[in-house]
Copies of this chain bind each other. A is one copy, B any other.
């Protein structure tokens, strides 16, 4: 039986979670907390398998509460659950030692399987966040036996307004391709490529493709050979 502590400042929200969890015969809600300080205190006392932690709370937010719970050496694992998919939250939450990070728009089944995964010692991150986390932390991944890789786009402020397609075009610009080469290899008209390039320059503030290349390197969109 997986024991869960629900932490959220909204009673209605807690109620919904409780109903969902109690409907599962392998889970039980052992307590509820409405603030960070209460969460820390109850976790220490109840020692639940999983703490379902909201972020935005009065008194002490979920990140800080997570940090204290983890730092206390508690065996309880923290699964952060929030309305917001802001990167900083995920970043901070995981740094604080959370075992997972899900967004509240997740399907009920996803939440349940997430809780089970966390309870069994695994970890989960909402797919929407996983992508950005990987991008942000690809640099810091330990090198495997396969050596260096060309890495992947980084979520960088100057690139944030680019569409997926534009980021892709910028990548190949960074690899030194001419417009006509880009057109040929991506099966596009050169005029289309020019349109994309123009928009990339406008959005990033780069003056020409040379500065776009520099930007691509600086943001680690492309990497030195």
Contact = CB atoms under 8 A, between A and B. Distances in A.
Interface size class of A (residues with CB under 8 A): 35 or more
Given A71-B150, A122-B127, A144 B213 contact: no
Interface in A51-107: 63-64, 67, 70-73, 75, 87-89, 91-92, 94-97, 99-100
Interface string A127-151: 1101101101110111111101111
A13 interface: no
B141 A131 contact: no
Contact of A144 (B70, B89, B169): B89
B140 A131 contact: no
A123 B185 CA distance: 26
A210 interface: yes
Q: How many copies does the complex hold?
A: 2
Nearest to A71: B150
Given A71-B175, A94-B138, 11 more contacts: A71-B150, A95-B144, A97-B151, A122-B128, A125-B125, A125-B130, A125-B134, A133-B137, A137-B141, A176-B214, A218-B225
A168 interface: yes
Given A122-B127, A175-B73, A213-B214, A97 B150 contact: yes
B94 A137 contact: yes
B122 A168 contact: no
Contacts of A217: 214, 217, 224
Instruction: Count chain B CB atoms within 10 A of each CB in A71, A174, A211 and give the residue with the most.
Output: A71
8 closest Cβ pairs, A-B complex:
A140-B140, A123-B131, A88-B144, A92-B146, A122-B127, A92-B144, A95-B149, A117-B127
What is the interface of chain A mostly: helix, strand, loop, or mixed?
helix
Contacts of A117: 127
Contacts of A131: 99, 121-123
A149 to B, nearest CB: 4
